[in-house]
Amino acid sequence: MAFASLPRAPPLLARFSGPRRGAGARAMAPPRCLALELPGCTLAHLAVGAGAADARPDPGAAALLGAPGRSFSLFVPVAPGGDCAARVRAARLHQRLLRQLRAGPLRGCQLHRLLCYCPGGGPDGVHRGVLLRDPGDSPDTRRALLALLDSHVEAPRPRLGEFVGSPRHELWHFLWELQDGRGWRQVGPEPVVRAPEPALHPVVPDLPGSGVFPDREAARAVLEACTPFIPEARAVLDLVDQCPEQAQKGKFPVIVIEGLDATGKTTVTQSVAESLKAVLLKSPPACISQWRKLFDDEPTIVRRAFYSLGNYIVASEIAKESTKSPVIVDRVEVSYQRMENPGCHVVDASPSREKVLQGVLSLIQNECN
The CATH number assigned to the domain holding 307 equals 3.40.50.300
Query: In this structure, are 164 and 232 located in the same domain?
Result: no
Q: Which residue has the higher pLDDT, 367 or 99?
A: 99
Per-residue pLDDT tens over the stretch 159-198: 999 998 888 888 889 999 988 767 899 888 888 888 888 7
- 71, pLDDT greater than 50: yes
Strand partners, 183: 179
Residue 27's pLDDT is: 37
Examine the domain organization and report whether 176 and 245 are in the same domain.
no
Q: What percent of the chain has pLDDT over 90?
A: 24
Predicted pLDDT at 331: 63
Residue 99's domain spans which residues?
23-207
Say what the pTM is.
0.75
- pLDDT interval class at 17 (50, 70, 90): very low
- Of 129-133, 179-183, 231-235, 357-361, which range is least confident? 179-183
pLDDT at 3: 36
Is 2 contained in some domain? no
> Are 242 and 360 members of one domain?
yes
pLDDT by residue (tens digit) across 267-291? 888 888 888 888 898 888 889 999 9
Of 165, 186, 207, the position where a domain reaches its end is: 207
Asked if residue 242 belongs to a domain, the reply is yes
Q: Quick one: 295 and 216 in the same domain?
A: yes
6 inside domain? no
- In Å, how far are 14, 123, 159, 186, 206 from 78, measured between CA atoms? 17, 11, 11, 22, 12
* Same domain as 252, residue 203: no
Q: Is residue 172 domain-shared with residue 112, that is, in the same domain?
A: yes
Q: Does residue 69 belong to any structural domain of this protein?
A: yes
Q: In this structure, are 43 and 93 located in the same domain?
A: yes
Please indicate, yes or no, whether residues 32 and 117 belong to a single structural domain of this protein. yes
Is pLDDT at 6 greater than 80 in this prediction?
no
Cα 141 from chain centroid? 27
Based on the domain organization, do 80 and 145 belong to the same domain?
yes
Are 192 and 104 found together in one domain? Answer: yes
Give the helix, strand, coil percentages of the chain, each rounded to 5.
40, 20, 40
The total of structural domains in the chain comes to 2
Residues 234-271 pLDDT 10s: 999 999 999 887 777 788 888 877 777 666 777 888 88
Task: Let me know if residue 8 belongs to a domain.
Answer: no
Q: Which of 227, 226, 209 is nearest to 218 (CA)?
A: 209
- Helix ranges restricted to H, the chain: 23-28, 59-65, 84-101, 139-150, 216-226, 232-241, 265-276, 292-296, 300-321, 333-337, 353-368
**What is the helix (H) or strand (E) element at residue 134, kind and residue range?**
strand 127-134
